[in-house]
Structure 1
């Protein structure tokens, strides 16, 4: 990867707020003409700084009123079991992020559900039945103070 300069960082900062901005407007915002801005944008994509573009969906508008975090623990720490767990988690749409963590738990999952009943069913019928899982501790989000809007462009 190439080193980022201030113009690259400015481009990334604008794109994190508006990924659909036309190149002409992006160039104007960062103080470049279109051609050099386009070149930088393509390089940022090719170098892996920009991994894709997507729409940010409203959880509430999608009918997903529950946001939960689940700490998942294993009693046996076996690589094959962990690999199976991770493969299965990747296929579950309700799990919107999964992190292998340090501390008393093995994984931290961010999960969405329509309501508490559906979340309870998901816990009983899906999460607790995954390979290796021996215990799950849930924490429900009462209010989202700062949403995940992507990485800052330092």
Structure 2
């Protein structure tokens, strides 16, 4: 691996803050052509300087992570699942719904780790056939009352 120059450091600085930036925009910001920028990024990836791109989701608004659990049950009604859900203060609302799903569970937890723990606990209940987790990224419209 060649030593990193100023342009490489500029690329890394921008990508560390904006991993999904379009290559054209990145190229314009560092003052290189799109092809030269693409080549540099490819070399940084190949050499292991850039090991990956990811979303690092931690605590969100108000220090809480909001999520929906979409639950399919083996049979309905399942009082045992509802009893289990009722034991956890982080569960804000449980709605029985029509269609392919049986329950929509709204959760607010202090961390992704707590969400995973709660999700695993619910998924392991014998009446739960399938569980999908949807993390809320933001609330675009929110009404009360």
* TM-score interval for Structure 1 and Structure 2 normalised by the shorter chain: 0.5 to 0.7
1:98 correspondence with 2:94: yes
Instruction: State the partner residue of 2:81.
Output: 85
Report the alpha carbon displacement of residue 138 of structure 1 after superposing the two structures with TM: 0.9
Match runs of 1:70-149 below 5 Å: 70-75=69-74, 77-79=75-77, 82-124=78-120, 126-149=121-144
The superposition leaves residues 1-35 of structure 1 with CA deviations (integer Å, 9 ceiling, x where unpaired) of: xxxxxxxxxxxxxxxxxxxxxxxxxxxxxxxxxxx
- Structure 2, gaps ≥5 residues long: 1-59
> Which protein shows a greater Rg?
2
Report the alpha carbon displacement of residue 131 of structure 1 after superposing the two structures with TM: 4.7
Question: Per the alignment, do residues 78 and 97 of structure 1 end up closer, same or farther by CA in structure 2, a change over 3 Å counting?
Answer: closer
Question: Per the alignment, do residues 99 and 113 of structure 1 end up closer, same or farther by CA in structure 2, a change over 3 Å counting?
Answer: same
The superposition leaves residues 122-152 of structure 1 with CA deviations (integer Å, 9 ceiling, x where unpaired) of: 211x2213351121011111111122413xx
TM-score (norm 2): 0.53
On the 8 A contact 1:84/1:131 being kept in 2, the answer is no
- Structure 1, gaps ≥5 residues long: 1-58
CA distance in structure 2 between the aligned counterparts of 1:129 and 1:145, rounded to whole angstroms: 32
Question: Per the alignment, do residues 130 and 148 of structure 1 end up closer, same or farther by CA in structure 2, a change over 3 Å counting?
Answer: farther
**Count of residue pairs brought into register by the alignment:** 86
On the 8 A contact 1:72/1:135 being kept in 2, the answer is yes
Report the alpha carbon displacement of residue 108 of structure 1 after superposing the two structures with TM: 0.2
Instruction: State the partner residue of 1:47.
Output: none
User: Matched residue of 2:92: which SS?
Assistant: strand
TM-score (norm 1): 0.50
On the 8 A contact 1:85/1:132 being kept in 2, the answer is yes
